[in-house]
Amino acid sequence: MTPDAAPSTRTDAAGERLALRGRVVTPDAVIEDGVVLVDGTRIAWVGPATGAPDAVPDLVLPPPTDSLLLPGLVDLHCHGGGGASFPDATDAAAASTAAAEHLRHGTTSLVASLVTADAATLLERTALLADLADAGELVGIHLEGPFLSTVRCGAQDPSLMVAGDPALVHRVAEAARGHLVTMTIAPEAPGVLGEGGAVAALAAAGAVPSVGHTDAAAELVEQALEEVRTALAAPGARSGRPTVTHLFNGMRPLHHREPGPVAACLAAAAEGVAVLELVADGVHLAPATVRTVFRLVGAASIALVTDAMAAAGMPDGDYRLGSMSVRVADGVARLTEGGAIAGGTAHLVDVVRSTVAAGVPLVDAVRAAATTPAEVLGRPELGALEVDRRADVLVTDSDLRPRAVLRAGAWAVPATS
């Protein structure tokens, strides 16, 4: 094999089918010399190169290569990139710039995240992002607030945080036109839990409530997770499992006498009834924390996310995150006032690389960056290199550096060498 060769591809005589060859990462294993056969927008066959001629006798296989073939990545939590911010976008061009930045690095399915803002701004931004979701540039919208804890506000403006408001949920869902996929809520915020609360409104709107930015005790978080699961048990729910917004970050830390939200969320994920977001970018979490969570709960209950803001893919400097000023130095984004970490600057493939470097097996890291988040979205056609899934493929070198990106069977980023 040629080390770190360019993507090894070949089309059939009619130009209708594409064969990609390399180390294929499936949800369960790495096929060391594998082939992914693409027919139109779908994956037609995946398996060892030695078996491919029987499956496609009229197609001459490309030569072997050391390139890695990953499923297109799925990011559930992203505030921007390429110098553009979803919470600050006032036109489609700015939002498209952020989406394109992550697509170029292998995120073929992106959820655009907003931050706490006044109702008018949330409705305006949601409607703008819904247009991009209608066009297929985004797979959904996530609201990180405003029903959050002012004590655990992180890089968000506590003055704009409000009690749970089901009427606002309905208005946002209407503006989202079916694209509201998740919303972060703090269980202790008034109006979030209980009959007629925000959790019930979110589930009715087809969105997954996500516990985060909370100072709640473990018992209240356990109650909240159970209430969310009950609400999501209704027919037509996007997912039956609540998510947890960037575990550890923006919540009361674990203490042996006050276990807080971390213990409750870890337990739920270990039981397979919740999905934990992890910002495993080497900044938000220590490597030992990342590999410990994977060992405790498994990749099927983890969604790797970027929490990226406008500076992803950009140089150090000054940026905005909603109403907050952010300064990026040495690739780390912090609020200009106070110094709190203000989102990430990595792409999701960088998070996968950091997760593997932390000691997590490649298969598990990729599953958490593609397959599990696709399940949260309720999109079974995304997130894995398997037959009949959408033909989203990220081609990287052996160090997980992107080389080419295939989205729905078309090259979003063709190989250049």
Give the residue among 372, 373, 360 at the shortest CA–CA distance from 400. Answer: 360
pLDDT digit string (tens) for 280-316? 999 999 999 999 999 999 999 999 999 999 999 999 9
pLDDT score, position 2: 37
CB 370 within 8 A of CB 58: no
User: Which sign, positive or negative, has the C-alpha torsion 302, 314, 130, 124?
Assistant: positive
Domains of the chain as residue ranges with CATH: 8-71+384-413 (2.30.40.10), 73-377 (3.20.20.140)
CA-CA-CA-CA torsion for 180, 184, 190, 194, nearest 10 degrees? 60
pLDDT digit string (tens) for 208-240? 999 999 999 999 999 999 999 999 998 888 999
pLDDT score, position 234: 87
Residues 6+ apart with CB under 8 A from 125: 86, 87, 89, 114, 117
Residue 284 zone, left/alpha/beta (φ > 0; ψ -120 to 50; rest) = alpha
Whole-number average pLDDT of the chain: 94
Does 51 score more than 70 pLDDT? yes
Residues paired with 110 in a beta bridge: 75
Give the residue among 182, 172, 174 at the shortest CA–CA distance from 228. Answer: 182
pLDDT score, position 43: 97
pLDDT score, position 17: 86
pLDDT score, position 288: 98
pLDDT band at 324 (very low <50, low <70, confident <90, very high): confident
CB 333 within 8 A of CB 343: yes
pLDDT band at 405 (very low <50, low <70, confident <90, very high): very high
**Whole-angstrom distance, CA of residue 76 vs CA of residue 127:** 18
pLDDT score, position 15: 53
pLDDT score, position 249: 96
pLDDT digit string (tens) for 69-88? 999 999 999 999 999 999 99
pLDDT score, position 155: 87
Of the chain, the percentage scoring pLDDT greater than 90 comes to: 86
pLDDT digit string (tens) for 347-383? 999 999 999 999 999 999 999 999 999 999 999 999 9
Per-residue tokens: 24: 């294929």
**Whole-angstrom distance, CA of residue 227 vs CA of residue 242:** 10
pLDDT band at 10 (very low <50, low <70, confident <90, very high): low
Element (H, E) at 11: strand 8-11
pLDDT score, position 236: 83
Does 175 score more than 60 pLDDT? yes
CB 349 within 8 A of CB 402: yes
Give the chain's count of helices (H) and strands (E). 11, 21
pLDDT score, position 13: 46
Where do we find the tokens 């002012």? 150
Q: How many residues does the chain have?
A: 417
